[in-house]
Amino acid sequence: MTPDEMLDYCLDMPGAYLDHPFGPEHSAVRLKTPTMDKGRIFAEVFTLRGVDVVTLRCETDAALTYREMYPGVVVRGYHCPPAEARYANTMPLDGDVPDAHLLEMADEAYDFIVAKLPKYRQAELRDG
């Protein structure tokens, strides 16, 4: 999967938009409802040591499961603060993780962030 394919997939989700809070070479996809000032990041796509990678948010148990499924390939979220690293995984987009599984993880990342929103904001996404 290419970085653009991953970004396009994530940006097709309701309320998703592109941001570059860490510089122009580091794309972050945020989720925002109409009443929010700033969205919450659920996916990041960037190049790390010459390899295109994605960082996706998820539940702690899921993060550990994916790290066990793909040892040394799926690792704790790159550049995430230690408290948040347990909720994020970074992995290459080079085929070591099948594309279908990457897309499934992207869906889970989106759902993880939606679930953290207050119910009225979740309703904005459904109705909006």
- Span 87-128, pLDDT tens digits: 899 999 999 999 999 999 999 999 999 999 999 999 998 876
**What is the model's pTM?**
0.93
What is the arrangement of strands in the sheet containing 27-31, beginning at the earlier edge strand?
Answer: 16-19, 27-31, 40-48, 51-57, 88-92, 75-76
Please provide the average confidence, as pLDDT, over all residues in the chain: 92
Whether residue 73 contacts residue 98, with contact meaning beta carbons closer than 8 Å, is answered with no
Whether 81 shows a pLDDT value over 70: the answer reads no
Share above pLDDT 70 across residues of the chain, in percent, rounded to a whole number: 97
